[in-house]
Amino acid sequence: MEAYTEKIREAAQRLLKENKVDLVMGFQRGTIPMMSQPVLIRKANEGERLHWDSHCGSNLANYLPKRKERIAVVAKGCDSRNIVVQILENQIRREQLYIIGVPCLGMIDRRQVLGALQGREPLSVSETNAHLVIQGKGFEEKLERSLFLQDNCAICIHRNPVLFDELVAEPVPEQTEVDRYEDVKGIEKMTADERWQYFRELLGPCIRCYACRNACPMCYCPTCFVDESTPQWLGKSIDPTDTTTFHFLRAYHLAGRCTDCGNCQRVCPVGINMRQLNKKLEKEIKERYGYETGRSIEQRPPLDTYRPDDAQQFFK
């Protein structure tokens, strides 16, 4: 990871010094263990602030839409696919961007690590390729890195950036033996009543803070439907009907656009796995149109184009 940090700093300083970009978006080391903070660097001599480790789960594409500057952005596989979608949707132009690609071995799920520590507080966390070494008051624990990945990283099949101007390391092997839809298939097998009950329980803890929406690089609407006030479409309380409507509508709005970067689940303060909704729609798009989101800026997304041979089983 230190090698990644060095390469990112070097690239940032070079690009700023040569006036190739106006600013660099990356991460700086966080103030608490297993956290990092998105940061914007404008001067080459500030490049030292940049940092990389397995706790850079935020998606920097979230900060791109509508920006006018020439931007260098640090991007993991999923982030790069979000950038592709944003380019396709005219939120940012390819010519504005210099993508510093990061081949990714998956980001760490901080909550899972905290859970495994059973109340003991981590005071410092370091990592090797295979392990996390966690130190706290009176203990040191070595955890196997691969067991503590974010859910979406554990089933990721595009770890390498798909669009980049340079890579900070050699590409990593892609995971091939994963079933991305194991949980979705389980939900599909439920009866309608069971499924409704399942969704109600899944979304029950929601406090309507909208962190999932705000963390999402594809949720860039100038005014989200939940914030419309003339007319107001959705109630503001924690009535389950309103909460469920928010999550379902948001999921549909992301059909064929979500790259499963996992940022929504990562930021949820009450640990809701709303990705299951998005993954069901991802699966539908894949099965009906053979389309995987954000692989190429040459291919239009299926929901904004038409082909005579499109799957049409929904016409009854």
Partner 1 sequence: MYVNPADGIPRMAKRAFKKAALIDVLNRLKERYRLYAPVRQNDMTNYQELASGDQADFSASNTRLSPKSFMHPQSLCMFAFGTDKGSDQAGILREVEKDLPRSVVFGIRPCDSKAFQLVDVNFNTPEYQDPWWIRRRQSTTLVGMACNSPCSTCFCTSVGSGPFSPDGLDVLLTDLGDDVVAEVMTAWGSEVLDHADIRGRATDAMTEKATALQQEAERSLGSLLPTESLREKNLNALFNAPFWDDVQFACINCGVCTFVCPTCWCFDVQDEVRNQQGVRVRNWDACMYPLFTHHGSGHNPRHQKLQRVRQRFMHKLKYFVDKYDRGVACVGCGRCVQQCPVNIDIRQLFRLMNDFKG
Q: For partner 1, which residue of 3, 205, 252, 303 counts as binding (CB under 8 A)?
A: 205
185, two tokens: 């298939």
Q: Binding to partner 1 by residue 81, rule CB under 8 A?
A: no
Altogether, the residues listed in the chain come to a count of: 316
What span, in angstroms and rounded, lies between the C-alpha atoms of 231 and 102? 44
Q: Min. distance of Cβ 253 from partner 1 in angstroms?
A: 17
For strands 131-136 and 139-144, give the pairing.
antiparallel
Q: Provide the edge-to-edge strand list for the sheet that holds 71-75.
A: 36-41, 23-29, 71-75, 97-101, 166-167
- Per-residue contact track with partner 1, 226 to 255, x per CB under 8 A? -x-x-----xxxxx----------------
What span, in angstroms and rounded, lies between the C-alpha atoms of 134 and 156? 25
- Per-residue contact track with partner 1, 32 to 71, x per CB under 8 A? x--xxxxxx-----------------x---xx--------
Q: Binding to partner 1 by residue 175, rule CB under 8 A?
A: no
The size of the interface with partner 1 (CB under 8 A), counted in residues, is 42
| Residues 104-163 within binding reach of partner 1 (CB under 8 A) | 111-112, 114-115, 119, 121, 123, 137
Q: Where are the beta strands (DSSP E) in 109-248?
A: 122-127, 131-136, 139-144, 166-167
Three-class secondary structure of residue 314 per DSSP: coil
Binding site for partner 1 (CB under 8 A): 30-32, 35-40, 58, 62-63, 111-112, 114-115, 119, 121, 123, 137, 205, 207-211, 213-215, 227, 229, 235-239, 263, 266-267, 269-271
